[in-house]
A and B are shown apart, each in its own frame.
Chain A
Amino acid sequence: MAETAFDFEVITPEGSSYRGRVTSLKLPGKKGSFGVLARHAPLVAALDAGLLRLRGEDGKARAFAVGEGFVEVRRAGVRVLVDFCNARGQIDAARAEKAAARAKERMRQRDGKVDSARAEAALRRSLARLSAVRLTGLD
């Protein structure tokens, strides 16, 4: 099946971290993960920290851990704006694991002093990184 490719870019405050033509995307939407193929209807959606998966024009699958942000789907292409975007090789698994444990611990002590929304966001970020590292069958 010949799949149609489209332009895709990931932009973070520290610069563009991925740019290329892809045939499919899977994004961590606020209301759940969703996929984008060529000729998707124009859309702006909020993204949670999570796993971004894509299949490049070359047929290669890639995965990134991304932070909270947005996706903008237009006819001309798709852009993702996120706080960070880490390729698998950039992630320190041990550090992410520690961060996840810390966030979980903080969420457990519900004594009002803990900002649970913040702890939750931290947990999501670290879990996103961990799941990116642990993915198999890529590259």
Chain B
Amino acid sequence: MAQGMKELRRRIRSVTSIQKITRAMEMVATTRLRRMQSKAEGARPYADAIKGFSALLAGGGSTLSSPLTQAREKVGRIAVVVISSDRGLCGAYNANVFRKVSAFLSEKKEVAVDLYTIGKKARVHYARRLPIKESFNDEVEKLGFRRAREIARQMTELFLKGSAAGGVDEVHVVFTRFVSVGRQVTTVDRLLPIIADAKPTDTAGGAKAGAATVAPAAAAGTAAATAAGADVGMLLEPSPQELFDVLMPKSLAMRVFAAMLDSMASEQAQRRMAMKAATDAAGDMIGSLTRKYNRARQETITKELLDIVGGAEALA
């Protein structure tokens, strides 16, 4: 029995130290999550303003076109950018991303795929499974807007080349959308060609949002028409088309950046959840081990007492 007790004591100690680690990781993830959320929060005004501009330009009545919004009839090759984490112990975060990629690729069996990875886990995961065209960076958390802009620029170049000239016809991003602390959704988003979201309904929403952020005082605009009306006579320099050409890459870069920020926040949220579950499980385990240990100790004591009593009786 003494042997069993020693073993139990050892196990309790080891589970306790594991619990300490998981609890610490949980707390670290909580702080990181908060930081990521505030980063994402900081990016929102810019993203909204970009959307507002697009709506403003689209609402100007002139027909704007960009090669970036034109869908190709025949898609020969696509690029898929996969955003994963650098570290593990974040629940099913990466597994979900990879599953989404597999599902997406099985839909696209007939086209060639160029894989781009962001994050160490994706690079390692696909290293022996699929040819990776390029791994962008191994430090997801340090990625800033600069990097997002670079990636967007590179993807744009590939897209403009087209599959006939060694480029691609579509660009997709697989990332984890951060809906709330309790909900994250793995998503495939088409980056290029840009989905012409400047359709009437969207434009209305965008213009209203844009106007509201710019001029809350002048936001007597009940309808988008009013908001657009306020912009009549607005000077555009250079031409709307040129502005549009500058705007498109910006909005792409912003979308890549937003996907990164969302993914990072999601990663931390899932790590926190996984670590909380681990901490709780460790607590349960310590409880049951302690019970076992106490029972074993009690048994030993009882046995010893019986021995003593038995010995005393024998002497009497």
Contact = CB atoms under 8 A, between A and B. Distances in A.
Interface of A: 11-16, 29-31, 41-46, 68-70, 72, 74-77, 79, 81, 83-84, 118
Interface in B111-161: 144-146, 148-149, 153
Contacts of A13: 43, 46-47, 145, 148, 253-254, 257
Given A29-B237, A44-B234, A69-B250, A77 B214 contact: yes
A70 B53 contact: yes
A30 B53 contact: no
Contact of A14 (B42, B49, B153, B215): B42
Interface string B196-240: 000000000000000000111110000000000001011111100
Given A13-B254, A16-B45, A81 B50 contact: yes
B246 interface: yes
B145 A46 contact: no
Summarize B's interface: helix, strand, loop or mixed.
Answer: helix
Interface of B: 39, 42-43, 45-47, 49-50, 53, 56, 144-146, 148-149, 153, 214-218, 231, 233-238, 242-243, 246-247, 250, 253-254, 257
Contact of A44 (B153, B236, B254): B236
A76 B246 contact: no
Contact of B237 (A16, A43, A83): A43
A12 B46 contact: yes
Contact of A31 (B53, B148, B238, B257): B238
Contact of A76 (B214, B234, B243): B214
A16 B42 contact: yes
Contacts of B234: 42-44
A76 B217 CA distance: 7
Contacts of A76: 214-218
A43 B214 contact: no
A108 B250 CA distance: 27
Given A44-B234, A70-B243, A75-B215, 17 more contacts: A13-B43, A13-B253, A13-B254, A13-B257, A14-B144, A14-B145, A15-B43, A30-B238, A41-B233, A42-B234, A44-B235, A45-B235, A75-B218, A76-B216, A77-B215, A81-B53, A83-B145
A133 B78 CA distance: 44
30 contacts: A11-B46, A12-B145, A13-B46, A13-B254, A14-B39, A14-B43, A14-B145, A15-B45, A16-B42, A16-B45, A31-B237, A42-B231, A42-B233, A42-B235, A43-B236, A43-B237, A44-B235, A44-B236, A45-B243, A46-B237, A46-B243, A46-B246, A68-B250, A70-B53, A72-B53, A74-B218, A76-B214, A77-B215, A81-B46, A83-B146
Contacts of B153: 118
